[in-house]
Structure 1
Amino acid sequence: MKSLLLTLLFVIVTTLSFSQEVSYGIRGGLNISNLDFDPDPTFSNQHRNGFAFGGFVDYGVTEQFSIQLEVQYSAEGAKADELRADYIQMPIMARFSLGEKFTVGIGPMVSLKSWEEQDVFSTFTFSGVGGVEYMITDELFVDARVHYGLSNILDKDLTNLEAQNTTIQFGFGIRI
């Protein structure tokens, strides 16, 4: 198992070190998120409007393919105070260029709970993320993404409910 992990790490580092272009940047956005409960809760569950901001590194493997690593803060969850979920997230997106202006991306995302007061939420969650980006200029872009929770964000020891976070994110950013 160790040799497999070391081989995979070597391939990733080698690929990224021979990449054609590395770009950095920052992005921010508006979140519209909600929790999908199973079973349906007896309380009101309304969506939450929040925000996200962070930075990224985009490693160009070829002219048509890149891998983008991000770290971002994201305000998600539902509208009720006890259902708000704020995270530090790390999406890793495989990005495919569809011409000079459009790019689509898909990948996994790991999230870390960013507060300690509400113990009902799990510390780590996993999601899938996908989106599209449009370059306005060589540096400025707008994007739209969807994060869909793949793991239960509630601590099973503290509640009998399961919930996944679903977020639609509209963003803007600049490549440096």
Structure 2
Amino acid sequence: MNKLLLFVLIVFLSLFVANAQDSRYGIRVGANLSSISSDDIEEDAEDARIGVAVGFFAEYYVTNHISIQPELQFSSQGNKAEDLRVNYIQLPVIFKYNFNQVINLQLGPQAGLKIWEWEDNGLREANFNTINFAAVGGLGFNITDNFYIDARYEYGINNLYEQEGIQREFKGNLTNIQLSIGYRL
């Protein structure tokens, strides 16, 4: 199922890119405020984690008002408690609606590949899933033709915890607020 979804996404992206009028590339750097939403986490471990996000993007303009922006980024997420920290390489595909030259609305899916988690989970039996899917929404503001800032909210849509080999079921999902600045080359 995941392979079919990925294939459909790649075909869909290819069609947009083939019809794109103009394209720009760049880098973005930002700060995350993330937390794991779960009833299985003790109250003293619920504090949000402040992390970093850094990556590259390509923006393809389909029309004057619509663009698609696939990205590849590193993102540190999880909770403040060390055993609830996790880092991802993420692939968001952001669809933008540009209201004017300054403001845009951003929506899209995101797939994340876990590249690190705290090794010693202490008393927690659960590990994080290798793949995390999320829905992303946000607003962007163009400062100049090259610089922009954006604010995004990410909501994990699959169970964050791996269920194999554990005695009880853990459930939870990631939520993340991200503020970033970008530079278009």
Normalised to the residue count of structure 1, the TM-score between the two structures is: 0.89
Identify the residue that residue 86 of structure 2 maps to in structure 1: 85
Aligned with 1:129 (options 125, 136, 145): 136
Pairing of 1:99-110 with structure 2 (within 5 A): 99-110=100-111
8 Å contact kept, 2:106–2:137? yes
Unaligned runs of 5+ in 2: 120-125
Q: Once superposed, which parts of structure 1, at least 4 consecutive aligned residues long, lie more than 4 Å away?
A: none
Change (3 A) 1:170 1:15: closer
The percentage of counterpart residues that share the same residue type is 34
Change (3 A) 1:78 1:116: closer
Alpha-carbon RMSD across the aligned residues, in angstroms, is 2.1
Deviation at 1:123, TM superposition (A): 0.3
Deviation at 1:117, TM superposition (A): 6.1
Q: How many correspondences in the alignment?
A: 171
Provide Cα deviations, 1:106-138, integer angstroms capped at 9, x if missing partner: 011000001266471110010000111101111
Deviation at 1:93, TM superposition (A): 1.1
Change (3 A) 1:23 1:104: same
Identify the residue that residue 66 of structure 2 maps to in structure 1: 65
CA distance in 1, matches of 2:160, 2:152: 20
Identify the residue that residue 181 of structure 2 maps to in structure 1: 172
Identify the residue that residue 55 of structure 1 maps to in structure 2: 56
Deviation at 1:153, TM superposition (A): 1.1
Unaligned runs of 5+ in 1: none
8 Å contact kept, 2:33–2:178? yes
Provide Cα deviations, 1:121-158, integer angstroms capped at 9, x if missing partner: 11001000011110111100111000101011111123
